[in-house]
Amino acid sequence: MTEPLQILEKYWGFTSFRPLQEEIIQSVLDGQDTVALLPTSGGKSICFQVPALAQDGICIVVSPLVALMADQVNALKEKGIKALQISGGISFNDLQTLLDNAKYGTYKFLYLSPERLQQELVQNAIKQMPVNLIAVDEAHCISQWGNDFRPAYKNTTVLREMHPLVPAIALTATATPKVLKDTVNELKLELPNIFQASFARENISYQVSNVEDKIYRIQQLLKNVAGKSIIYVRSRNSCIEISNQLNSLGIASTFYHGGISSEEKTLKMNSWQNGNTPNIVATNAFGMGIDEPNVRLVVHVQLPDSLEAYFQEAGRAGRDGEFAKAVILWSDYDKQLVHRQFVASYPTTKDIKYLYKKLNNYFQVPYGEGEFTSHPFNFSDFCKTYELSTLLAFNSLQILDRLGVLQLSKSFGRKSIVHFVATSQVVLEYFKKDVLASVIGKTILRLYGGVFETPTSINLHYVATKSGQSVATIIKVLEQMERDALLTLQLQVTDAVLTFVLPREDEKTINPLSKEIALQKEKKEIQVKAVVDYIDNTKECRSVQLVRYFGEEHGERCGICSVCTSEFQKISAEERKTLSEKILLLLEETPQSSRELSEKLTFAETDIVSTLRLLLDSKKVTLGVRNRFHLK
């Protein structure tokens, strides 16, 4: 057996472990069932990867996230470690090849989704593998009380039955005490060693601000950031809009969401990581598996749907141990919005049955068939076809994914079918008059020789790479050429790949899940209430509130959050009087907003706002149009 520290240094280049890692690894090497409850950035993957490398055999890793599996497998391969993954959309022959490689190819890691464990072919192959460790990542998913509960996770116990003498390790970052107890029971862990790090992040200042002009507040926050920032939003449109607004203000920014291509994601990620665009506006599609050390600021522009999700996303700040901020910006409207998005629009069993039936009709899946078949999926087109509420449909898809009925992989792509119907002479004459059409058209003609003879499928991203034009420009030019009768165009846009995990049985597929659907709705109501309670509690340290949610009853005040620091910022009566006089003097010159006053005064903005409220109450000032204050 190779020593763990030698493995750590050889493959990761570190000469010492992070807190609790060494103890967790030793527990696994001693053959003990183990639970590793480490916060985001605690280095959970090393806790199972090092002991698996220290022993002969292969480690089976169960993970719910296809993207995270792919990231970890690629990272291991880059280190020269043999690893493979099994997810949706794999043909029978490819699956058989992967399983044979895992059995006979000296691979050290096999990553797979819990749904794959239902397949007899997969189970039979794993029985024949020299398994040295069972690792269950995001283990809270097995608990009905856990964030992102997935019933398919209960299938992981079949691994214990196949290899009863092999130790198991459960890893998670966001388990409450109730979830932790449930996880241990559901995984059937035998007297496990439980290692739990404190949830307190002493270097993160948790801040909550009730503001109306969020862009201005983001601009102020970014002024003094000497590192990277992540700005989380709810929608793809908001990503683009806020990123554009920041760029127009001279703040280098890019955006990231699940609807951009893999190539674009890589470019944007690299630009963010190397500091060219240090600020990234993103949906929750961004961040999983990313361990960037110098993120100094994480901002949530809308309320998160749970404290579990918020804690993970906020925890991407300050991973180097240096001071960082995690800020929630909210308005009264956001409270209504988070309730509407995640509680009021949470689908019923009837809603999910209806959507599931429409999905099968959309892809023409026959009754009793469809198991592990994959399909390019255009969500917008699907909703338009059946006149569905996009929010209700999206939530229903998320539930079907979580309950193991289907698997939704974000895989954006644009493929088009092009057929030149005009003669080559007419087309070339057209190109002489339009330089951009010439560049794009000739690129297509070079890459796809048969476009004059037959409708031909073309890859727009490939054309973009070869022509030096953006995909959007190429589409615009092709559409114009179609209007000018040079070609016919069938534009196909997909933003996901949908894999049916179970055969189609309509109501019989969904009925057994009705109890879980109702329970998940109840849980979501509790989670949203916890978020609202957190932002409303302005009396108690933010860090204390968060760690108590995760079971630490006696958390220590951090001294750096928005609640703790507000106590030190209270001004005296004399200072309040001075501030009032200065505000009134400035308003004698011209009506001004609170922002304009803040830029001219040296007092804290919170003190200026509270003083303005007192002046309003005493009727010394009034509030006019464009939120400007006037002398009475």
pLDDT value of residue 289:
61
Supply the DSSP string of 543-599, one letter for each residue.
Answer: HHHHHHHTT-TTPPP-S-SHHHHHHHSPPPHHHHHHHHHHHHHHHHHS-EEHHHHHH
Q: What is the pLDDT of residue 159?
A: 93
Q: Tell me what pLDDT residue 420 has.
A: 93
Regions of the chain where pLDDT drops below 70? 1, 41-42, 67, 88-89, 147, 262, 288-289, 410-415, 492-495, 567-570
**What is the structure's pLDDT at 41?**
66
Q: What is the pLDDT of residue 8?
A: 95
Position 505 scores a pLDDT of 92
**Which residue, 532, 553, 530, 522, is CA-closest to 149?**
522
Residue 45 has a pLDDT of 92
Alpha-carbon gap, residue 37 to 170, rounded angstroms: 8
Q: Which domains does the chain have, with CATH numbers?
A: 4-196 (3.40.50.300), 204-330+537-565 (3.40.50.300), 340-412+496-524 (1.10.10), 413-494 (no CATH), 569-631 (1.10.10.10)
pLDDT tens digits for range 115-135: 888 888 999 999 999 999 999
pLDDT of 623 reads 82
Give pLDDT, residue 175. Answer: 82
Whether 98 and 90 have beta carbons less than 8 Å apart is answered as yes
pTM assigned to the model: 0.70
Give the helix/strand (H/E) hosting 109: strand 109-112
Give SS3 for 256. Answer: strand
Contact 40, 68 (CB under 8 A): no
Q: How far is C-alpha 307 from the geometric centre of its chain's CA atoms?
A: 14
pLDDT score recorded for residue 407: 82
Helix (H, G, I), strand (E, B) or coil at 630: strand
Q: Can you give the pLDDT at residue 410?
A: 60
Q: Residues 354, 400: contact at Cβ < 8 Å?
A: no
Token pair 């806790």: residue: 47
CA-based angle 487:417:90, to the nearest 5?
Answer: 175
CB count, 10 Å around CB of 432? 9
Residue type, 313: E
Spatial contact of 313 and 232, defined as CB atoms under 8 Å apart: yes
CB atoms within 10 A of CB 492: 14
pLDDT of residue 326: 96
| pLDDT at 520 (0 to 100) | 84
